Chain A
């Protein structure tokens, strides 16, 4: 029996999965209902039943390197049909969180984001940064009326955010590299370019989401949020580069097509976030009983877009200086969102893309 696999349950892993949303993990009796009922599970590599077994037995290395946990869109069919109340959907949420934390670079950031207390520190740090900017940053001569630039000089912000983005990209890169390495050792062929095109289309259209039996409007919410933020990200970067190159001067006039596009994206993103939030709150079965990890990401996201819209409206009315306060919060939230991106649920954007790529290549190889 040399080819047999030596199992030694990782007790800590089991307990942390159970502590981070998968507390019903052990109720699973391996009947296979979940895999059979899942609209997303492929026939030849069905999930989540097998992963439930691996999780029950604490096989961490296999799970974090298993693309399957990213293919799950947490539509909750498995959980509502599970005869034992083992809630595989929730277990998978917990497993994704474990994976993100596992691949996090630098590791301590993973732990901080994973830990509510440490997170407060993160917010304080961000607040401190912008407080400093507001107080000491050199202002270019006073402009008429109320302008954010009066308090938060544009060049400073530019510098700040571009460097931050840089760091974030590096962290993401390292994390993904670890993920890819794990995938290789686990035997999954990673050949992104091969599948990428198809994957991007799938993501763009949320085709997999639409297969979900339950949770219909979750798809809509996710789709809107996804595209809204893509729009905003694009605009942010474009305008940023533009201003630095001195091609654009902010704030843009309302009629400006770029501005219209930006505002439109913001509204779309907000709609998406609200739908998702409502879905989570309303859900009678609490099907996607979201862990703290989930809530944190969704709330920051919503916070960012709301404060953004708010501050813009206040600026347009030119009524009160409160707008500086709102804008301050807006900046803090964006900062935290960026900084935590590789370690928060935000990361699923990339991990899932890679995982889907892996599956596509796997299919291609067949």
Chain B
């Protein structure tokens, strides 16, 4: 389609004094043949914006290039039609604020950026939102305190809910406890479980459909249109839901693994969950002889904070044991209760409950490490405790020992299950014997995942949510605790991270909110976090697809499935618009209407590369638009100076970098290419999880090809940069350009 382009150049904020804006206008006219091209001294001011609006309203212009400040600035002023093509050229932060005014190099930089902006606008196409019918029904998996809360809260917000519980009754763990420790003021007294009422509410709620003794046999589709098959003893029903809340809770760590603490050695050594069960039935008696309990010792961190068992802290055990101390106290005012802890962890207002329990004359709390639990001659249990505040090791006798065992998430490792499946296939039809053997070994090692499936997603990347360490599903992000790698599926409660019932209820609220948000955005055809509201979706030109499976493997969000041949089957509602598929594809068949291999390649072509003898190197810099690009803006605002021979191309994510661009750049005589993206590794900061890591891997491959072309691999460089490391940027850039000057100009110049 033929665009009516309007190019508007601002000469304010010292742009006019630093570069020749009239010359810029000429460049724009030559490159873009714009229907309108104006220079204005104060473009973001009322008059400037009116000028643009006027051109749009008369229809003289339908696509706009604004050459002024950073696209991160003045977004309110330049908020025109969201579907219209609007390209911002960053003349202020990236040109005039960080390069000498009136300098030729500065002028060339500005002209290149303008050309790049114009060509991008010309190549982009108008966006239309997705508009499929969307179900807003919620699926809640798990009928414990978190699941029940999620179901009720979603219903209270006006949404239909389906609740799936594997047990015959709802209620989960909380339904089995005598009391709960106080999550609310005054924090001193135990409170009722209070779940029975909620269960009734759920069962009789007109908007909540309950499946008990049920499992999910299959789930396919995408946000707004998940098709779920639920099996309840024999019968199977299918539903369509819009989003999923996974509240499958936790299971206690297996106390049988704690023989060193006497479990299994004496019937009088029990776990905290077993104590809970006993207490629910009536007064707690000594398992060995049915006598009333006169003294109890609680061993904290039994199997938690222990590299041989659960390396993490289970968060709830301290409060739980304090609660259990209250149980014992209630049934026997004269019982001696000992609690041996590594660190007493009662954060926030919980500290008051700790104080309340501690105050009783017959409650004995101490720091220490329990070394052994053995039978004492008198029939009691002798507990040896090391490292006490007494400065010596002590032995305490008790007739019941309770191990405060920790929480293990009821999750399934989707990626491991997928790996297992792959391996199993290889065992049969692997190419070589060695490969088959390797596969067999892999199967062996992943075997224990078999049958753990919960969601049974028909996703190419596995049947369940990917997990972080220790089997807890997403999120890895501090700022975005509900960030998930499976769009539309949100974990809630103790499955997400160890937490008590109060926090689980609150967590259910949050996860439900995200699920609601997901279906609401889907219903408007918009992307969810982090590119919330993005209208663009990738399209795949499948005729040219070679079934290399790179896109389907590399998509961090499992948005792409495969047919049996390996051709990608996109699910736009799962897509997070990062463009990693675009970067992965060697055939360049993936494109967004406003972001494609061709668009970026054309921007690179728009860069004028001076002849070799001019000794003006040209350096292409691909920058993550989320962190590195803002960092360069801040550098500009602080008027930091750096070499003007760089040309920055912002990318949605470094992972969307297609190596073709590097080839294009180098073949055009550009002297080097720099990639600046987010930190990767264990503490990755990439908003799309693996973007910068993938870019780095691709870069390694390109470097090999370079060598073959007699090009120095030093011409390519990737750096990880956090948004607050702006002050490092000038040194980084100048350093790289300096190295290129040493290497000498790109031999392909002018060919």
Contact = CB atoms under 8 A, between A and B. Distances in A.
Please say whether the chains A and B touch (CB closer than 8 A). Answer: yes
Contacts of B713: none
A52 B415 CA distance: 54
Interface stretch (B366-374, B471-479, B740-748): B366-374
A84 interface: yes
Contact of A56 (B355, B364, B392, B394): B364
B359 A27 contact: yes
B272 to A, nearest CB: 22
A98 to B, nearest CB: 15
A118 to B, nearest CB: 26
B390 A50 contact: yes
A5 B389 contact: no
Interface in A128-149: none
Contacts of B355: 27, 84
B361 A8 contact: no
A50 B391 contact: yes
B393 A26 contact: no
A9 B336 contact: yes
A30 B394 contact: no
A221 B390 CA distance: 36
Contacts of A6: 382, 394-397
Interface string A202-244: 0000000000000000000000000000000000000000000
Interface in A1-38: 1, 3-9, 11, 14-15, 18, 26-27, 29-30
A14 B363 CA distance: 11
A15 B366 CA distance: 19
A9 B396 CA distance: 9
A294 interface: no
Contacts of B391: 50
A27 B392 contact: no
A26 B392 contact: no
A3 B394 CA distance: 9
B394 A9 contact: no
A1 B384 contact: yes
Which range holds the interface residue count of chain A?
20 to 34
A4 B359 CA distance: 27
Interface residues of B, number: 28
A86 to B, nearest CB: 10
Contacts of B384: 1, 4
B394 A8 contact: no
Contacts of A30: 366-367, 389
Contacts of B359: 26-27
B80 interface: no
Contact of A54 (B336, B390, B393, B395): B390
A182 B384 CA distance: 27
Interface in A39-59: 49-50, 53-54, 56-57
Interface of A: 1, 3-9, 11, 14-15, 18, 26-27, 29-30, 49-50, 53-54, 56-57, 84
29 contacts: A1-B372, A4-B384, A4-B393, A4-B394, A4-B395, A5-B390, A6-B382, A6-B395, A6-B396, A7-B394, A7-B396, A11-B336, A11-B362, A15-B361, A18-B361, A26-B360, A26-B363, A27-B355, A27-B358, A27-B359, A29-B365, A30-B389, A50-B391, A53-B366, A53-B388, A54-B390, A56-B364, A57-B364, A84-B355
The 9 A-B pairs with the shortest beta carbon distances in the complex, nearest first, are A4-B393, A1-B384, A30-B389, A6-B395, A4-B395, A7-B394, A26-B359, A5-B394, A53-B389
Given A6-B397, A26-B358, 18 more contacts: A1-B371, A1-B384, A3-B393, A4-B393, A4-B394, A5-B390, A7-B394, A7-B396, A9-B362, A9-B364, A11-B361, A11-B362, A15-B361, A26-B361, A26-B363, A27-B358, A30-B389, A49-B389
